[in-house]
Structure 1
Amino acid sequence: MKITLLRLRALRLSFLLVTCLCSAQAFAQSVNTRVTADSLTIGEVFEYSIAIQFDREYQNVQYPDTNSFPSSLELLGRQQFRTSDFSDSLVYTLQYFNNEDVQISSMPITLYGTNDSSTVYTDPVSLYFKTVIAVGDTTLKPMKPNFAFARPWWPWVLAGLALAGFLLWWFKFNDQEKTESVDPEPQIEPFYNPLAELEKQLLAIKKESKVAETKNFKLFYSEVGDAIRAYFEDLYNIPALECTSSELLRYLDAYGVDDTLTEKTRLILRKADLVKFAKYTPTLEDAWQTYDYALEFLERAKLADSARIGRLKAKYNQQFMITSTQKDQGED
């Protein structure tokens, strides 16, 4: 009889434990992430959604900020939807700027209760780069055969005339006294200031640009972007004119370039990439706004890079002094 009672109590206890576990699973918090597209082209806009089911009411929910996303994704906006006290969602509108695959890593979401807080994490999401180049466009076209041209005769005539002139000079002036040759004074090139060159190029773009009449935005954005790239190539020795936008931004981070200069460069290059690769047609106001970004870059560079340019000028002056000293010693 006692054994039977013990078995009944054990069964009741097991039933209660199973019921508690099921209840906990039923009301456990869950986080779901979703994107409207997982294959993207440069400049494509998509939505990244986070949906949360709560186990109880919370006073506040802290979602990931813009710094949590990769640098190749630009946040255009976000919108929150609170359907009930136990569910909430947030939709991010993002724009993709890259030419390779990227992953949105797992990000924390902090839930604040009355007296405590807890943290849940999103699942990582992979985004794949989708090229817009048609299949077959990258194949090399066969080379056309070379054409054989007859050798011209006029170089031989010129050579004969030159030889005759030389012989005439030789016989006519051979008996004259040779004049002492004087080495020309070496010309010292003026100091090349990358900052002054950037300002000169930007003024030339504003003065000579006819984008309002021609609507050739691709040329306009290329000129502005190349002026910024040439500045980094001249002052920082970065192969900026040969790099993609992503490669150049990685160089700027590695070289410790001023944050404001890096951000202005990112804005200019992204707009230029949209026009050149994503077939984006900006307005005239957008084009001149990008030009204003370049002017802001110039004013910031005058402060941030003044020490670097000073060192470059000191090196130039030192080289000039060495050249002058060597010349004086040679004359002595």
Structure 2
Amino acid sequence: MKVRQNIFIFTTLVCLLAGRPLMAQQYEDYFQVKAVPDTTKIRLGEQVNISVTAKVMLYALKGANLKVVFPNLPDSLNHLEIVSRTPLDTTGTNEQQKVWKQIITVTSFDSGRWEMPPMKFEVFSVTDGSYDSVFTDPIMIDVNTVAVDTSKAFKPIKPLRRVAWNLLDYWPWLLGILVLVTAVVLYFVYWRKRKPAPKPLPAKPAKTPYEVAIEHLAQLGKDKPWNTDVKLYYTELTDVLRQYFEQQFHIAALEQTSAELLQNIKPVTVLNQQRDKLQSILTLADLAKFAKLQPSPQEHEDCLQKAIAVVEWTKAAATAVVEPEGTNHQTK
């Protein structure tokens, strides 16, 4: 019984130790890499394009989830300098295989025979975590100098050669000058032929404060708002008079109480002459608005007629005399 257990343990250890190399050998069989240069002989400063290809045989690794890592090359190595690397190209991939391609361009400024060392590719199995490394073959690049015949004397430097003048070399400048001249000509032509702007029509004269007040008072007499709302009627009546006084006589009538308004109309002679009528209107209006007094229909009509009389009395001072432009007065 113990012999069988020992044989089982030994077999298990052998399988565990041999599993990784077997997996590595499996990747080497189905994962291929190569690096092929377009030339191996260049002169100083010339470039070599190395085509690097990695290929995975999908048909032989069904269900395998592999990850390939391309070599990470430094900017320079062994007298060779990396000029550029193209992005990975997978145009050759199909159901049977997956292909990655990249062009690595190198150059050298040192003459001699230089080796591009093997490039290391790594492949990982996402399924079981195993990995392996595969290397490309080294590439030998011969970098030669330009042959110089030292037996002959150095030739002198040639003088500068003048290039013949060509009109096409200056076409942007000529086009700009042509556009500028055309714009100037069109501007002056348009400026001379442009029609004079029409004169603006004379603005209609605004209504005088007297005309506005008379229109509002006439509308109140027509609507007779006291039949439905006495307070609203007296509010509108006094507002018409206050606006008239403020616009015509520059009295802050809208912001003053009735007593203040009666006090401030004293300097205005033509208005102060109607003080009794104005006081009667303001007193009755305050009683109707604030004391809920109900004046008779006759009193409503009387207040409206007094307001009209006050505005008519100040008509001469309120009406502005506007003479048309161009009127000449000649004394005979």
Do the structures match in fold with TM over 0.5? no
Structure having the higher helix fraction is 1
TM-score, scaled to structure 1: 0.36
Rg larger for: 2
